[in-house]
Amino acid sequence: MRQIHSSAWLLVILSSLLQVLIFPLAGLYIFSWVAFAPLIVALLRARRAGALEIDGSLNLEAAKPIQAFLLAYASGILWYAGTCYWIYDTMHQYGGLSAPLALLALFLFCLDLGLYHGLFGLLLSLAAGPGRDNRTALVAAPFLWVAVELARTLVTGFPWNLLGTAQVDNISLSRITTWTGVYGISFEIMLVNVAVASAFLVPKKKRSTLLIASLVAAAVLQAGRLVDAPAVPADRAALLVQENIPVDATWTRDNFQRTLRELSDLSIKAVASTSASPKAGTVDLIVWPESPAPFVTNDPLFRDPVSQMARDAHSWVVTGAIGITPAAHSGKFASQAFNSAALISPGGEWSARYDKIHLVPFGEYLPFPRLLAFAGGLSKEVGEFQTGASRVPLNAGDVRLGVFICYESVFPGEVREFAKQGAQVLVNLSNDGWYGDSGAYAQHLNQTRMRGIENDRWILSATDTGVTASIDPYGRIVARLPRKERGALIAPYALTSVTTFYTRHGDWFAWLCAIISVAALLTRFGLHTKAGKKAETSS
């Protein structure tokens, strides 16, 4: 087997760097249209095929399947290391791991998730087939990429930074997500990348024309970012409290009660101030985020002050807390803990609760505890939570709230369930303090914004350290608080009862791409088998 040419490895490194740059903090989203082109070229021009071409250039051909896997796998490892580097600091600073173990945890994470890039490379090579047909592989590439993103969502459960999220600010383009979900934008981006890559896979005399045409297409699609949609009317107001409580804060009874009193006073005063300002609107909902404070739903020290705050403010309250539910085991009663969002009525009654369904590995539970016992520090800090069972919206008077917690916002198919079941506004509670000042908080915010676009809903995003914001159905931030400051945001919003095609039908487009990918691979395999039999017969 011919070895991979060094130019292919250089293209892989270039592609990985561009893939990192299109997501925050760098946020150079314009590179999304070319970020994958070097990788595609590397996969389809990886090996020296023989003698030099007439013009003296190298004669290169597509990688074999195992080579394509290794090239793309390396790209995936580098990409995850460059975008999810914050895992090291989280595990080291808050998880109690030593620096070497935290670095090992990040490395193992990259090795695991990088497999999906590797899978894309492998499938692209198989699509090219034994004849190394670039045309077939290029046509299949966008479908294969979306199929791999779907697999990453469903199998590993970590669809962080799906490619389409890079264009969340492109209002004209992002509206297709109301039909296809974010996967539709991923497909569009990869389609342009394929066109750019194709320019370097054709004879030089055709290269300029194809390259110009593909870059013009990218420019036209990117120009959608220059088009703004009309303002969306907001006839309601919520109060989003940014607690700014350090993740590693230590708690005594006095400190706990003082913090709770300060947050309650902040909320009540902010609500009272809106009464004197008609432009601000009347606050009908107070939202406290997921919190590092030991707020427990059955603790009177927490429960009673929050109930009193709801009565004083004459408002519904949603607050992040540790939900405790008695559970019977072998005739005895034990308690189960959930990462929850509790709903309190203006009369102070604790009327409903949402228990988080999609838990964070290593943060809220430890997968494979015997194998990964060394990484259990963060779980011990946060707690071993049980899994919730229902995405039914919470009824706050005449408002149906679709509440989801923290990184549940990165799962398109799960958030849509709230809107499908009648949620009129989406509420995200998060504690992004775990991320520090890395790019993770901004990456998380962009993914949350995309959920609003897909479902054509306002989103009220309340976080512990920021960004706390009101987000309109176009994904635009219409009001926000500065990060790492305690404060209260008067957040405009409106109720929506329309149901988008994506809300009704979910990830149909991604599944269609997966079906087309399988069909293309089976067709390629069938043609290869048929050709082999024909050659055998003729001999």
pLDDT in tens, 362-386: 777 766 555 555 555 444 444 578 9
Q: State the pLDDT at residue 370.
A: 54
CB 470 within 8 A of CB 480: yes
pLDDT digits (tens, 9 = 90+) for 60-99: 788 999 999 999 999 999 999 999 999 999 888 887 889 9
Q: To 5 degrees, how large is the angle CA 58–CA 59–CA 64?
A: 120
Report which of residues 437 and 534 the model is more confident about: 437
Q: State the pLDDT at residue 422.
A: 97
Q: Cα separation of 461 and 426, whole Å? A: 8
Q: State the pLDDT at residue 330.
A: 47
Q: State the pLDDT at residue 205.
A: 82
Maximum distance among all alpha carbons in the chain?
A: 93
- In this structure, the strands spanning 283-288 and 459-463 are unpaired
Q: Cα separation of 74 and 77, whole Å? A: 5
Confidence label for 320 from pLDDT (cuts 50, 70 and 90): very high
CB 481 within 8 A of CB 242: yes
Q: State the pLDDT at residue 48.
A: 67
Q: What would the mean pLDDT of 32-38 be, rounded to a whole number?
A: 98
Q: Can you spell out the DSSP letters for 241-292?
A: EE----TT----HHHHHHHHHHHHHHHHHHHHHHHT-GGG--EEEEEE---S
Confidence label for 347 from pLDDT (cuts 50, 70 and 90): very high
Q: Which two tokens stand for residue 102?
A: 């935290």
pLDDT digits (tens, 9 = 90+) for 96-114: 889 999 999 999 999 999 9
Least-confidence region, from 1-5, 115-119, 253-257: 1-5
Q: Cα separation of 334 and 326, whole Å? A: 6
* Mean confidence (pLDDT) of the chain: 90
pLDDT digits (tens, 9 = 90+) for 6-20: 899 999 999 999 999
Report which of residues 35 and 368 the model is more confident about: 35
Q: State the pLDDT at residue 280.
A: 56
8-state DSSP, 350: E
Q: State the pLDDT at residue 455.
A: 98
Q: State the pLDDT at residue 329.
A: 53
Report which of residues 28 and 280 the model is more confident about: 28
Q: Which residues pair with 48 in a beta bridge?
A: 60
Cβ-based neighbours of 158, under 8 Å, separated by 6 or more: 113, 152, 410
**Which CATH fold would you assign to the domain 236-493?**
Nitrilase/N-carbamoyl-D-aminoacid amidohydrolase (3.60.110)
Q: What would the mean pLDDT of 289-295 be, rounded to a whole number?
A: 94
Q: State the pLDDT at residue 183.
A: 98
CB 481 within 8 A of CB 441: no
Q: Give the HSE-up count for residue 226: Cα atoms under 13 Å, Cβ half-sphere.
A: 6
Report which of residues 281 and 440 the model is more confident about: 440
Neighbouring CB atoms inside 10 A of 58's CB total: 13
Least-confidence region, from 92-96, 160-164, 418-422, 423-427: 92-96
Q: State the pLDDT at residue 534.
A: 58
**Minimal CA–CA distance to 326: which of 342, 343, 314, 338?**
338
CB 237 within 8 A of CB 284: yes
Q: What would the mean pLDDT of 117-131 be, rounded to a whole number?
A: 91
Q: State the pLDDT at residue 489.
A: 97
Q: What would the mean pLDDT of 26-30 be, rounded to a whole number?
A: 95
Alpha-carbon distances of 146 from 62, 142, 171, 189, rounded to whole Å? 22, 6, 21, 11
Q: Give the HSE-up count for residue 268: Cα atoms under 13 Å, Cβ half-sphere.
A: 17
Structural domain boundaries in the chain: 6-228+508-532, 236-493
pLDDT digits (tens, 9 = 90+) for 221-264: 999 999 888 999 999 999 999 999 998 899 999 999 999 999 99
pLDDT digits (tens, 9 = 90+) for 473-526: 999 999 999 999 999 999 999 999 999 999 999 999 999 999 999 999 998 877
